[in-house]
Amino acid sequence: MARTKEFNEDQALDKAIEIFWHKGYNGTSAQDLVTHLGLSRSSLYDTFGDKQKLFTKSLQRYQKQSQDQIIKLLEESENIKETLHDIFKQAVLESLQDRITKGCFMVNSSVELAMHDETISKIVKNNSQVMEEVFTKAVKKGQESGHISKQLDSRVLARFIFNNYSGIRVLARAGERDKQVYDDIVKAVFSLL
């Protein structure tokens, strides 16, 4: 008779996201996973396969959660420029409050693994494509409502916005603590909108 699982897979993935986000793929040992997730090795591997598969599932879950949150904010927005500004302000706030300088799990994974791992590379590229489309749609909406300048093409602005949003996360991972640095970036981005 097969044993039933005594844990929630989504909660286990959320815990895996935490440890991988903090330590990276290469810095996280099998024992780190067992300890942090509170699972036996057999439960861990029976459910998720190997470390690489667990990492991939964790990154995909993080991607969906992050994208869904931004998509919801932008779709419900009455003023795209203000909503984008709020998204940037939140990224800055998280960057300044983060004591372990996590940055962005997607960006970190891109830097650490995308060049050497085809599966991770595909996830990272897909994330960039989806976010470019999300921001392009939002910028168009903002341009149509008059909240965002039509001086530049919506896709050009979307790429610029996403690149700078990701850049803030890179600075956070590098341990940047000077609020003025972040404020200057946000000011420059929004001067073009």
Provide the 3-class DSSP secondary structure of residue 15.
helix
pLDDT tens digit sequence for 154-185: 999 999 999 999 999 999 999 999 999 999 99
Lowest mean per-residue pLDDT among 63-67, 71-75, 77-81, 100-104: 100-104
User: Is residue 63 a part of any domain in this protein?
Assistant: yes
pLDDT tens digit sequence for 47-59: 999 999 999 999 9
Q: Check residue 6 and give its pLDDT.
A: 67
User: Is residue 106 a part of any domain in this protein?
Assistant: yes
Average confidence (pLDDT) over 3-19: 85
Q: Is the pLDDT of residue 3 over 70?
A: no
Q: Regarding predicted confidence, which is higher, 28 or 7?
A: 28
User: Is residue 9 a part of any domain in this protein?
Assistant: no
User: Is residue 70 a part of any domain in this protein?
Assistant: yes
Q: How confident is the model at residue 100 (pLDDT cuts 50, 70, 90)?
A: confident
Domain that holds residue 173: 58-191
pLDDT tens digit sequence for 114-154: 999 999 999 999 999 999 999 999 999 999 999 999 999 99
Q: Check residue 71 and give its pLDDT.
A: 97
Q: What is the pTM of this model?
A: 0.91
User: Is residue 183 a part of any domain in this protein?
Assistant: yes
Q: How far apart are the first and last CA of the chain?
A: 62
State how far the Cα of 109 lies from the Cα of 104, in Å rounded to an integer: 8
Q: Check residue 1 and give its pLDDT.
A: 43
Domain count, the chain: 1
Q: Check residue 7 and give its pLDDT.
A: 73
- Which positions ≥6 away from 74 have C-beta within 8 Å? 80, 83, 84, 134, 135, 137, 138, 141
User: Is residue 46 a part of any domain in this protein?
Assistant: no
Which CATH number goes with the domain that contains 104? 1.10.357.10
State how far the Cα of 147 lies from the Cα of 86, in Å rounded to an integer: 14
Tally Cβ neighbours within 10 Å of residue 97.
Answer: 8
User: Is residue 116 a part of any domain in this protein?
Assistant: yes
Cβ atoms 157, 143 nearer than 8 A: no
User: Is residue 62 a part of any domain in this protein?
Assistant: yes
Average confidence (pLDDT) over 104-118: 95
